[in-house]
């Protein structure tokens, strides 16, 4: 049994070392072989150098579309279990071990409980702004995990979604699981730690101040907001 951890990376020299180190620690506890695929997206910093030094497999995808980027990582992978995680997030040491256990219990896949690297009143209020958008799906997100077979069955991530491609993937994976009597799961006891770089850049209250932002993101087709907030950052 092998796990493939797919990490999209656009000029991630600042955060990638910590993300890779966290995967390595989680791999030490996991009973399976673990490979790491770093998908380079228009990088011109030290991202590739850092990834190669850590022994990661290198894939490339130039599109400003995370669905294409994540799917490129899948095509470069060879694992029986697929995990996707962002470069500025850190897996819990026990995350991969728990994923294996959950899939052995006949789950279709799932997401993770997420915690920010720091807290503030602004971050808490901003997170509350997102709850109505996420609550309708009743799914966990962030670090996705499933089997290779299930990933292929749902055709991976849908590039028609410029944003929320992860939400769409989760919904389709859950619905596919229902057809084969498998449930969605969440890794609660080994939370993912995600960076607060967007709050550092735009301010802890930015989701509260810009009430239209989340609406545009959850539309899924707004290339302008995607470019401004994600794809053209760190160019």
Q: What is the pLDDT of residues 133-150, one digit of tens each?
A: 888 888 998 999 999 999
* The pLDDT of residue 211: 84
Give a yes or no: residue 91 inside a domain.
yes
Residue 45 lies in a domain: yes
What pLDDT sits at residue 135? Answer: 82
Is the residue at 157 inside a domain?
yes
| Parts of the chain with a pLDDT under 50 | none
Domain contains 161:
yes
Structurally, how many domains does the chain consist of? 1
pTM (global) more than 0.95: yes
- Within a domain: residue 63? yes
pLDDT at 188: 97
The count of C-alpha atoms lying within 13 angstroms of the C-alpha of 74, restricted to the half-sphere facing its C-beta, is 24
Domain assignment of residue 203, yes or no: no
What proportions of the chain, in percent to the nearest 5, are helix, strand and coil? 45, 20, 35
Q: Which domain holds residue 67?
A: 2-117+140-196
What percent of the chain shows pLDDT beyond 90? 93
Separation of alpha carbons 56 and 12, rounded Å: 14
20-62 confidence digits (pLDDT tens): 999 999 999 999 999 999 999 999 999 999 999 999 999 999 9
Q: Return the closest-CA partner of residue 220 out of 157, 156, 167, 142.
A: 167
Residue 44 lies in a domain: yes
pLDDT recorded at residue 136: 85
Of the candidates 15, 27, 35, 139, which has an alpha carbon nearest to the alpha carbon of residue 86? 15
- The strand pair at 33-40 and 57-60 is best described as parallel
Residue 226 lies in a domain: no
> Could you tell me the CATH number of the domain that includes residue 29?
3.90.550.10
């Amino acid at each position: 049994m092998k796990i493939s951890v797919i990490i999209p990376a656009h000029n991630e020299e600042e955060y990638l070392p910590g993300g890779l180190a966290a995967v390595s620690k989680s791999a030490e506890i996991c009973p399976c072989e673990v490979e790491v695929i770093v998908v380079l997206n228009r990088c011109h910093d030290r991202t590739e150098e850092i990834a190669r030094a850590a022994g990661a497999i290198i894939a490339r995808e130039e599109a400003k579309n995370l669905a294409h980027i994540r799917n490129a990582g899948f095509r470069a992978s060879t694992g029986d279990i697929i995990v996707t995680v962002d470069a500025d997030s850190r897996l819990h040491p026990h995350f991969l071990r728990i994923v294996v256990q959950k899939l052995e219990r006949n789950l279709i896949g799932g997401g993770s409980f997420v915690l920010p690297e720091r807290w503030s009143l602004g971050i808490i209020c901003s997170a509350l702004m997102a709850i109505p958008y996420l609550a309708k799906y009743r799914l966990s997100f962030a670090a996705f995990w499933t089997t290779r077979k299930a990933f292929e069955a749902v055709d991976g991530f849908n590039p028609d979604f410029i944003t929320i491609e992860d939400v769409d993937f989760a919904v389709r994976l859950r619905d596919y699981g229902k057809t084969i009597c498998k449930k969605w799961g969440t890794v609660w006891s080994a939370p993912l730690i995600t960076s607060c770089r967007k709050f550092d850049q735009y301010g802890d209250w930015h989701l509260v101040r810009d009430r239209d932002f989340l609406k545009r993101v959850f539309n899924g087709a707004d290339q302008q907001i995607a470019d401004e907030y994600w794809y053209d950052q760190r160019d």
